[in-house]
Amino acid sequence: MNESNLNPPPPLPPSLPADELPLGEHPHDCNPIVGALGVIEAVLRHPRRIVFHLNQGSATGRLVGLLLAVALVFIAVYGAIVGSFSGGLQWWAAPLKITGGLVVTAAICLPSLYIFACLGGSPARLGEVAGALGGLMALATLLLIGFAPVAWLFSQSTQSVVVMGGLHLLFWLVAAGFGVRFLKTAFRRLGLRSENGLNVWVVIFLLVSLQMTAALRPLVGPGDKEPLLPRPEDKKFFVAHWFDSMDAQARRTPVRRD
């Protein structure tokens, strides 16, 4: 009698879903990320791969640089679409200010992200944290590029600064929402135990990015009627700026009776 029939092998443990496998054990994790196209594919389809490569240490800097470069190119392109509404000076001023705004937002929010990540129990290094933030920016700006044709079409068919501003804002919030989802997934892989601090940081990040709409105005409206940046005495909270813009629009628009 065959011995193997007497001692059947122990049952295999149920295999984990691919997303729950430890980092590096999924077949896609270790594939190299080559160039901008590799970054785009990884951010969209294999976010675990980004986290795995950030976690390796040796190429963290290169990957963070690639993520940032992709985000900067995409946001500059989307900035040109924003500028196309008013044209003229805004063709170059809007992309420049929106790109600068995103860089400043990331730079001033990075230290607090590192602090909140550590307070949440993640052993992530600053480079990994910067990479997770770079991934958020790359994914959000990639989505903005996806929205760009819609935004361009509206910008050519409406004269309302408020409608266009609202539309860009909506696109940014949707894009940032997906970016934040990437960030949270990345930090779970990077050992985050509590997301409370990260949620606070997300609110801070969104507030800073929204305040940029007031700090760098005009972004959508014509650039030749106002200074390139608001004068010190004209600084406003972003909500006040939005309400003022809506009031100004309402005063300019005649009541239609058709």
Binder of other proteins out of 232, 254, 255, 256 (CB under 8 A): 232
Q: Cα(first)–Cα(last) distance of the chain, in Å?
A: 95
Q: Is residue 61 a contact point for other proteins (CB under 8 A)? A: no
Binder of other proteins out of 98, 208, 219, 220 (CB under 8 A): 208
Beta-carbon contacts of residue 257 (< 8 Å; ≥ 6 apart): none
Q: How far is the CB of 108 from other proteins (least distance, A)?
A: 4
Q: Is residue 107 a contact point for other proteins (CB under 8 A)? A: yes
Q: Which is nearer to other proteins, 86 or 105 (CB)?
A: 105
What are the CA-CA distances from residue 175 to residues 1, 75, 225 (Å)?
65, 12, 30
What are the CA-CA distances from residue 252 to residues 161, 162, 185, 191, 247 (Å)?
11, 12, 46, 54, 9
Choose the stretch contacting other proteins; rule: CB under 8 A; options: 18-26, 80-88, 147-155, 207-215. Answer: 207-215
54 with 134: CB under 8 angstroms? no
Q: Is residue 114 a contact point for other proteins (CB under 8 A)? A: yes
What are the CA-CA distances from residue 23 to residues 53, 72, 122 (Å)?
10, 28, 15
Q: Is residue 92 a contact point for other proteins (CB under 8 A)? A: no
| Footprint of other proteins on 118-137 (CB under 8 A) | 118-119, 121-123, 125
Give residue 88's Cα distance to chain centre.
28
74 with 68: CB under 8 angstroms? no
Q: Which is nearer to other proteins, 92 or 237 (CB)?
A: 237
Q: How far is the CB of 118 from other proteins (least distance, A)?
A: 3
138 with 71: CB under 8 angstroms? yes
Q: Is residue 233 a contact point for other proteins (CB under 8 A)? A: yes
Q: Which is nearer to other proteins, 78 or 201 (CB)?
A: 201
Locus of tokens 């044709």: 149
**Residues engaged in binding other proteins (CB under 8 A):** 104, 107-109, 111-112, 114-115, 118-119, 121-123, 125, 204, 208, 211, 214-215, 232-233, 235-237
